[in-house]
Amino acid sequence: MRPLVAGNWKMNGLASSLAELVALKAALAAKAPACDVLVCPPFTLLAQAAVVKDGFALGGQDCSAKEGGAFTGDISASMLKDAGASHVIVGHSERRQYHGERDGDVAAKAGAAWRAGLGAIICIGETEAQRYAGDANNICASQVDGSVPGAATAANTTIAYEPVWAIGTGRTPTTADIIAMHGHIRNCLVRRLGEAGRGIRILYGGSVKPDNAADILNLPEVNGALVGGASLKASDFLSIITALKQV
């Protein structure tokens, strides 16, 4: 399985930030990465980023479950595709937390992404309170059941495991905990999807930085990373990309 390292710029980036993508493109052209590379800038930069894009793919950070119509402020999956995206993140914990998105909404968005020809990166992960209560496995299992539509395949879906308490905090689970959770999520995918569940990439996300990337990215069942803050600077993002061992 070829890993994927994806950058989620969140609500960061102006036209001047496109210089980071120019630098990323140059570095990837100079040395081919051992993984697929994806950048998810804000919607406003997608079309301009598509002009720069070479050696990496582009994704949106969210999409509407609707195809189009009177939904002020929303963006459809086909608009993302039209602007140059091949993927879209759905169900990020910040969407779940600040916009009240629930598993059913996330599954509907994944379906909309597929209908537009986009790959869905479906995010799951427990809060700190849930982990302390010993509920992390149950939470992630129910998020897989509720957020991942039954037609998910390796071609149309990626899972991102992002423990909420590790996002933007500089804290990460132990490597043993990451291995255990990714193995658990794999079992959940296979139980839900059968053989198709074996080929779906499971990314780790939450405070992945240049100095911990090698330790996290080369663990069993870690098929790449979803990187927030450290994806904003091409040099940091490249350090993470190159932390992956060539296979």
Active site residues: 92, 162
Least CB distance from residue 210 to ligand 13P, whole Å? Answer: 11
| Residues paired with residue 157 on neighbouring β-strands, in sequence order | 120
Per-residue contact string for residues 201-240; x = within reach of ligand 13P by CB under 6 A: ----xxxx-----------------xxxxx----------
Query: Which residue's C-beta sits nearest to ligand 13P?
Result: 228
Residue type, 161: Y
Q: Is 64 among the residues that bind ligand 13P (CB under 6 A)?
A: no
Residue 164's closest CA among 189, 139, 190? 139
Least CB distance from residue 30 to ligand 13P, whole Å? Answer: 25
Least CB distance from residue 90 to ligand 13P, whole Å? Answer: 12
Q: Is 8 among the residues that bind ligand 13P (CB under 6 A)?
A: yes
d(CA 20, CA 26): 10
Count of beta carbons in the 10 Å neighbourhood of residue 243: 22
Q: What is the CA radius of gyration of the chain?
A: 17
- Contact (Cβ atoms closer than 8 angstroms) between residue 196 and residue 153: yes
Q: Which of 117, 150, 168, 183 binds ligand 13P (CB under 6 A)?
A: 168
Query: Could you tell me which residues come within 8 angstroms of residue 177 by beta carbon, excluding any fewer than 6 positions away?
Result: none
Residue 127 φ/ψ, nearest 5 degrees = -80, 170
Q: Which is nearer to ligand 13P, 168 or 220 (CB)?
A: 168
The residue count for binding ligand 13P (CB under 6 A) is 14
Three-state SS at 108: helix
Least CB distance from residue 158 to ligand 13P, whole Å? Answer: 12
Query: Segment 143-162, which members bind ligand 13P (CB under 6 A)?
Result: 162
**Through-space distance between the first and last CA atoms of the chain, rounded to whole angstroms:** 10
Site residues (vs ligand 13P, CB under 6 A): 8, 92, 162, 167-168, 205-208, 226-230
